[in-house]
């Protein structure tokens, strides 16, 4: 049981290049998330998905796109990378405890992170 | 912005109980209190959560005040491996808002 797996773990891009980060989970979780973390700060939500085929914007969605074609995978794309997107990216997944979010807690399982540098 | 307030850093002696406070004075009735920690640059790790009652699991205990405006995470016997940033979060849905957390340093 691998949990949440992110690939690649490290990547260096030049300004304007594009790339995709892949997140895969094997826990049959409904919800998946992409966060970014800058030095000395907490995590900020980029996009999230509450089920296969659905995505939604989080706090800092600009410059990123996502897709959830399969329940177990959540892809984060950068169409034209900028130095401001240099960060550590974390994927997470969860399944709400109880009957729906209004009555249940939401416990996240995180991947190990992907460190992206944009020059 | 995060809806919780935590000390920036704390120290604790190895083997002693580490008590990490968190203020969440604007918490609403259906919001849970979650605690996560992040060791070095690894992905955050879930510790415990609660709604109204105190909770305990194999990692820690969570004490929530009766008015729910603050809580304390207790690591009963801290070890060097508990050195990490600890995040206290309140949320009623899937959008957890993360603050900067408390840097807990366990000293030998």
Is residue A50 within 8 Å of residue B94, measured between CB atoms?
yes
pLDDT of residue A98: 54
Band the pLDDT of A101: cuts 50, 70, 90.
Answer: very low
Band the pLDDT of B3: cuts 50, 70, 90.
Answer: confident
pLDDT, one tens digit per residue, over A13-28 is: 999 999 999 999 998 8
Contacts of B92 in chain A (CB under 8 A): 101-102
> Could B43 and A4 be called an inter-chain contact, meaning their C-beta atoms sit closer than 8 Å?
yes
Report the residue of B4, B29, B36, B44 to disrupt the A interface, i.e. the one with the largest count of A CBs within 10 Å: B44
> Could B94 and A94 be called an inter-chain contact, meaning their C-beta atoms sit closer than 8 Å?
yes
Instruction: For chains A and B, count residue pairs whose Cβ atoms are closer than 8 Å.
Output: 62
Band the pLDDT of A102: cuts 50, 70, 90.
Answer: very low
Contacts of A96 in chain B (CB under 8 A): 94
Q: What 3-state class would DSSP assign to A62?
A: coil
Q: Going by DSSP bridges, is the β-strand pair B9-13/B102-107 parallel, antiparallel, or unpaired? A: parallel
Band the pLDDT of B1: cuts 50, 70, 90.
Answer: low
Q: Residues of chain B with pLDDT > 70: what percent?
A: 98
> Could B95 and A107 be called an inter-chain contact, meaning their C-beta atoms sit closer than 8 Å?
no
Q: How far is CA A65 from CA A58, A69, A81, A92, in A?
A: 11, 13, 12, 16
Which of B32, B44, B49 lies nearest to residue A110, judging by beta carbons? B44
* Dihedral, CA of residue A55, residue A56, residue A62 and residue A64, to nearest 10: -20
The mean pLDDT value for B23-43 works out to: 91
Q: What 3-state class would DSSP assign to A100?
A: coil
Encoded tokens for B91: 């949320």
Lowest-pLDDT range of A88-92, A104-108, B85-89: A104-108
pLDDT, one tens digit per residue, over A58-90 is: 999 999 999 999 999 999 999 999 999 999 999
Q: What 3-state class would DSSP assign to B4?
A: coil
């Amino acid at each position: 049981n691998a949990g949440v797996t992110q690939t690649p773990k490290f990547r260096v891009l030049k300004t304007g290049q594009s790339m995709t980060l892949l997140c895969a989970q094997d826990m049959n979780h409904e919800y998946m998330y992409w966060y970014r973390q800058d030095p000395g700060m907490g995590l900020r939500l980029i996009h999230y998905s509450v089920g296969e085929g659905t995505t939604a914007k989080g706090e800092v969605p600009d410059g990123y796109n996502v897709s959830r074609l399969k329940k177990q995978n959540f892809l984060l794309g950068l169409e034209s990378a900028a130095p401001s997107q240099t960060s550590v990216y974390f994927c997470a997944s969860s399944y709400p405890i109880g009957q729906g979010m209004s009555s249940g807690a939401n416990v996240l399982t995180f991947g190990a992170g992907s460190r992206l540098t944009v020059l | 912005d995060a809806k919780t307030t935590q000390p920036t850093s704390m120290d604790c002696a190895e083997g002693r109980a580490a008590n990490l406070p968190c203020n969440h004075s604007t918490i609403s009735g259906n919001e849970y209190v979650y605690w996560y920690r992040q060791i070095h640059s690894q992905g955050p790790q879930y510790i415990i959560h609660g709604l109204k009652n105190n909770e305990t699991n194999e990692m820690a205990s969570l004490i929530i005040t009766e008015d729910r405006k603050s809580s304390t995470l207790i690591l009963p016997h801290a070890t060097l491996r508990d050195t990490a940033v600890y995040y206290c979060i309140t949320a009623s849905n899937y959008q957890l808002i993360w603050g900067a957390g408390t840097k807990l340093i366990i000293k030998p």
